[in-house]
Structure 1
Amino acid sequence: MDFFVFVSEQWLLVSLLCVLIYVYAWTEKAKGGKSLSVHAMTQLVNKGEAVVVDLREAADFKGGHIVDAINIPHNKLDEQVTQLAKHKEKTVILVDKMGQHTGHAGRTLRKGGFEVNRLEGGMSEWQSQNLPLVKS
């Protein structure tokens, strides 16, 4: 009850907070690069124009990943970005569980001169469409 009273009395502050949360979420999403559907990503990879980088932890990656994906956990990207040097001419497509880590990774890779996109919906979307997974 007190919450609704606060909101009605401080509507301007609450509105400003909502706008700031939206802007933060939007900018973080944009840092991960352009969002690609699973079909658009598959076409780029099949043409040899893109490489998939899976940002999940090694255990999740071994449980199932996209064919030919390179596993670089998001918290080790700064140290392991050199693994991608031979793919500099290709678009890097970032994949994680649901897209929560693509912002930081995209920013890091763009600083290194890579073109970066992200898989819309991450591995959750890939799995929901029953697309193939490689298990190691």
Structure 2
Amino acid sequence: MQFLINNWMLVLLAAVSGGALLWQAMQQGGGAGVPTSEAVRLMNREKAVLIDVREAAEYAAGHAVGARSVPLAGLDGARELPANKALPVLVMCASGSRASRAAAQLRKAGYEKAQVVAGGMSAWREAGLPVNKSA
């Protein structure tokens, strides 16, 4: 206890830096998910299906090449979902929060390999990966 009192500034600094790391993880959709490089590998080598759960207008403004548009509200029973539930399914939104909910919903529906693309479209663009815009 005496150590904490004598070194209160170090304890405060450690608490603040830990809080900052926690805040950053929460802003990135809980810190869970696969990085964009792993998402591309899964798409190329394991035939992963990329699902974009943003609204139609967001999707039209720019989406990852090869992504299928399935807004979060219409996820249950959507035709755009793969029939083969054993395939990896990568879920993407703007930043990761909607995708986390969608991935949980897909896993509950039997898509055991449903994963979030960490950072969503923001990370996809930052990585310089191809983006399409709908006409």
Same fold (TM > 0.5): yes
TM superposition score normalised by structure 2: 0.70
In structure 1, the partner of 2:116 is 118
Aligned length: 110
Between the aligned partners of 1:93 and 1:110, the Cα distance in structure 2 is 11
In structure 1, the partner of 2:94 is 97
| Alpha carbons 2:34, 2:116 under 8 Å: kept | yes
In structure 2, the partner of 1:9 is none
* TM superposition shift of 1:74: 1.1
Partner deviation per Cα, 1:21-76 (whole Å, 9 max, x = no partner): 98xx6xx848xxx5111111001101143100001111111111111111011122
In structure 2, the partner of 1:83 is 80
CA RMSD of aligned residues (A): 2.5
| Alpha carbons 1:29, 1:102 under 8 Å: kept | no
Give structure 2 stretches of 5+ with no counterpart: 1-18
In structure 2, the partner of 1:66 is 64
* TM superposition shift of 1:88: 1.8
Change (3 A) 1:120 1:68: same
Name whichever structure is richer in helix by fraction.
1
Give structure 1 stretches of 5+ with no counterpart: 1-17
Q: For residue 93 of structure 1, give the secondary structure of its aligned residue in structure 2.
A: strand
The 4+ residue runs of structure 1 with deviation greater than 6 A are none
